[in-house]
Every structure is written in structure tokens, then in C-alpha cells.
């Protein structure tokens, strides 16, 4: 039996793989998970697969499309950084025109589906996409290290949008969920700006380590980790999470606080990166608990 793929199929698969890389799939998946967790946190009395599919599809297209547009704008600095120089655009695997069309189509379709689901949901997703592409990437990223705050605000929109879709309104729990993600995202950015300091210097991107030093950045990472956990815990208490699940979260939270304290007392690249990974485990575990409790 001949299983050799047709040359056109090989080319198509290679192109799709390139497009997939343009969307930064791990980052997109994480933000998509936050949107699902936000929706499930509302404990909708009726959850249909059609609504869930529309939620997932609209958020994926809006988030991934925004990421593609960011990659287009940042292709010059990606070319100068060793960590990013092999991305599809600086490596010449896809044209700028092609990437721009892909990004705009994805964002447009994603927002259209979002507004069809709910005007409020669509509005929040639109605000997130605008802040991510225009405010964070185009306006502030090359001007100030504090741009990461706006990157965090954009990243907090999917979870807020998901809860707003489930409730039909914004509430303080949704805002706290959004704040927890807002505080979580800069942890990632600051950690990698420390690990790849020379790369960012070469690209001319202002970062916390270059502006305030590694010590202050490490303290900021520790503080942001603890505050993100506190905001998430407050939100889950507010949504009425069962005591057993909150106990699991409390144990994880204690570990996070101890690790953050150790990073401040004895800072090192290894301890900072370990805190970043543990904070991510805490946040993902919290969102998984939301989904599991809602489905039980």
C-alpha cells in the first residue's frame, strides 16, 4: 500500500505548520483556557456544546489573530534576537502580506462570532485585541518596560469575557479573575527578560532588568506571583467554590508564598525560573478546579 503523500499535500501541511507557529500555540492555548474557566465559573444552568464551541472558536481566532499581527509588527526585533530569529517571519517562511491577511481575517471572524454570541462578550474580546495589538505592541512595547502591565490587561480579557458571557454581565468576581491573570502574565515576561537579557538588549527593548536591575525584577516577580494567587483565591471564594477545592488551593498557595520568600532571600536565575513555573502551575490548577467543580 502506497502511503506517500502527494507533493501538494506536503506543501499544504508545511504551510499550515508555519501558520500554526505564527499563532504561538502554547500562549494562545493558555489564554483560551482562561476564557473557558471564566465561562465555567459562572455556573450557567444550561451549557450547550454549541455555545462552548462558539466561545472556544471566537476566542481562539481573536487571540491567535492578534498574535499573528503582533508577530508582523515585531519581525524586525525578532530578527535581532537569538531566541526568536527562527520564527516564520524573520526566517522568511511566510511573507508579511500573507501574515497580515491571515491575522486580520482571524481577528475579524473571531470578533464577528463573539458579537453574535453576546454584545458584551464581543466588546470585551475587542478591547483585549485592541490593547494587545495597538496599545501594548505598537505603542508601548518599544518605549517602556511598564508596557507589560498593558500586556497583562490584554491577557486578562479572555477570562473576564468568558465569565461575562456566562453571567450576562460583569461582576467583581470576573474582575478579580482578570486581575489575577493581569498579574500572572508579567511574571512570564519579566522572567524571560532576565533569562534572555542580552537578546532584549540587542533588540533595543526596554525591560525591567535593564531599567531597574535584576534584584528589583526578582522582587517584582515574587510580589506579582503572590498577588496573582491572592486575587485568584479571592475570586474563587467569591464564586462559592467548595471548601475541599479551596483547601487544595490553599496548600498550593502556601508553597507559592514560601518559594517567593526564598527567591527574595536568595535570588538566582534558577529560583526565579522555578517560581515562574510554580506560579503557572498554581494558576492552571486553580482554573482546572473551576472546570472540574462546575462539571461534577
CA 189 to chain centroid, in Å, comes to 11
Measured between alpha carbons, how far is 272 from 260 in angstroms, rounded to an integer?
8
As a whole-number percent, the residues of the chain with pLDDT over 70 amount to 97
Nearest CA among 137, 171, 173 for reference residue 155: 137
Residue 185 pLDDT more than 70?
Answer: yes
Arithmetic mean of pLDDT, 217-236: 96
CATH code 3.30.200.20 for 18-295:
no
Predicted local distance difference test score (pLDDT) of residue 14: 82
Measured between alpha carbons, how far is 284 from 33 in angstroms, rounded to an integer?
8
Predicted local distance difference test score (pLDDT) of residue 6: 62
Residues 6+ away with beta carbon under 8 Å from 73: 133, 137, 138
Q: What is the largest CA-CA distance in the chain?
A: 64
Measured between alpha carbons, how far is 10 from 189 in angstroms, rounded to an integer?
36
Residue 3 pLDDT more than 60?
Answer: no
Q: What is the pLDDT of residues 33-72, one digit of tens each?
A: 999 999 999 987 667 788 999 999 999 999 999 999 999 9
Q: What is the pLDDT of residues 18-33, one digit of tens each?
A: 999 999 999 999 999 9
Residues 6+ away with beta carbon under 8 Å from 97: none
Nearest CA among 34, 26, 83 for reference residue 184: 34
Residue 178 exposed, middle or buried by CB count within 10 Å (0-12, 13-18, 19+):
buried
**Mean pLDDT estimate for the chain:** 93
Predicted local distance difference test score (pLDDT) of residue 8: 72
Domain limits of the chain?
Answer: 18-295
Residue 1 pLDDT more than 70?
Answer: no
Amino acid at each position: 500500500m502506497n502511503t506517500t503523500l502527494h507533493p501538494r499535500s506536503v506543501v499544504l501541511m508545511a504551510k499550515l505548520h508555519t501558520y500554526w507557529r505564527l499563532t504561538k500555540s502554547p500562549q494562545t492555548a493558555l489564554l483560551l483556557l482562561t476564557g473557558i474557566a471564566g465561562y465555567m465559573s459562572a455556573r450557567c444552568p444550561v451549557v450547550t456544546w454549541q455555545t462552548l464551541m462558539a466561545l472556544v472558536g471566537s476566542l481562539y481566532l481573536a487571540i491567535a489573530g492578534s498574535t499573528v499581527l503582533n508577530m508582523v509588527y515585531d519581525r524586525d526585533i525578532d530578527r535581532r534576537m537569538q531566541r526568536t530569529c527562527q520564527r516564520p517571519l524573520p526566517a522568511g517562511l511566510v511573507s508579511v502580506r500573507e501574515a497580515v491577511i491571515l491575522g486580520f481575517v482571524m481577528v475579524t471572524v473571531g470578533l464577528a462570532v463573539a458579537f453574535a454570541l453576546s454584545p458584551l462578550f464581543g466588546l470585551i474580546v475587542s478591547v483585549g485585541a485592541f490593547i494587545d495589538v495597538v496599545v501594548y505592541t505598537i505603542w508601548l512595547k518599544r518605549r517602556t518596560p511598564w508596557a507589560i502591565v498593558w500586556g497583562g490587561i490584554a491577557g486578562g480579557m479572555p477570562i473576564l469575557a468568558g465569565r461575562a458571557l456566562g453571567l450576562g454581565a460583569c461582576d467583581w468576581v470576573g474582575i478579580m479573575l482578570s486581575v489575577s491573570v493581569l498579574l500572572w502574565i508579567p511574571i512570564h515576561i519579566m522572567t524571560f527578560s532576565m533569562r534572555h537579557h542580552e537578546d532584549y538588549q540587542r533588540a533595543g527593548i526596554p525591560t525591567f532588568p535593564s531599567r531597574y536591575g535584576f534584584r528589583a525584577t526578582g522582587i517584582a516577580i515574587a510580589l506579582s506571583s503572590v498577588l496573582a494567587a491572592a486575587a485568584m483565591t479571592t475570586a474563587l471564594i467569591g464564586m462559592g467554590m467548595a471548601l475541599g477545592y479551596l483547601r487544595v488551593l490553599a496548600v498550593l498557595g502556601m508553597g507559592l508564598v514560601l518559594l517567593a520568600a526564598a527567591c527574595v532571600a536568595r535570588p538566582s536565575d534558577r529560583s526565579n525560573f522555578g517560581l515562574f513555573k510554580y506560579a503557572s502551575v498554581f494558576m492552571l490548577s486553580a482554573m482546572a478546579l473551576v472546570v472540574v467543580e462546575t462539571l461534577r
